[in-house]
């Protein structure tokens, strides 16, 4: 590992690791947890979305992204998978919402 690159990117690397741990915890809760309130489930979804947003912001720096691929490829590709899955779910929900709205308008 290049010590100079570590000094430049080490803080962001640690931050990304912490964000990924939070994402994993939330994903496990969302997939395995028993919720007695939709509000609590949605709150966890919002927390997950925020963790993904922060991770995506960190990865917008191409130098940091290159550093991460070279020094922690597992974290990089795991994050990519989670971000892709969350984006897919977001798109599904937006499409579902649009379909439901059109269906309601057509029935009126």
Give per-residue pLDDT as tens, 7-52.
899 999 999 999 999 999 999 999 998 999 989 988 999 999 999 9
pTM for the structure as a whole? 0.79
Return phi, psi of residue 33, to 5°.
Answer: -75, 150
- Provide the pLDDT for residue 97: 84
| Residue 91 C-alpha from the chain's centroid | 14
Treating both helix axes as pointing N-terminal to C-terminal, what angle do 62-71 and 3-32 enclose, rounded to 10 degrees? 80
């Amino acid at each position: 590992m290049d010590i100079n690159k570590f000094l430049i990117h080490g803080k962001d690397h640690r931050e990304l690791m912490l964000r990924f741990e939070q994402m994993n915890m939330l994903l496990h809760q969302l997939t395995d947890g028993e919720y007695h309130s939709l509000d609590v489930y949605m709150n966890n979804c919002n927390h997950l979305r925020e963790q993904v947003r922060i991770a995506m912001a960190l990865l917008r720096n191409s130098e940091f992204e290159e550093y991460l691929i070279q020094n922690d490829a597992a974290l990089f590709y795991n994050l990519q998978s989670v971000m892709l899955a969350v984006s897919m779910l977001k798109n599904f929900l937006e499409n579902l919402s649009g379909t439901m709205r059109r269906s309601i308008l057509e029935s009126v």
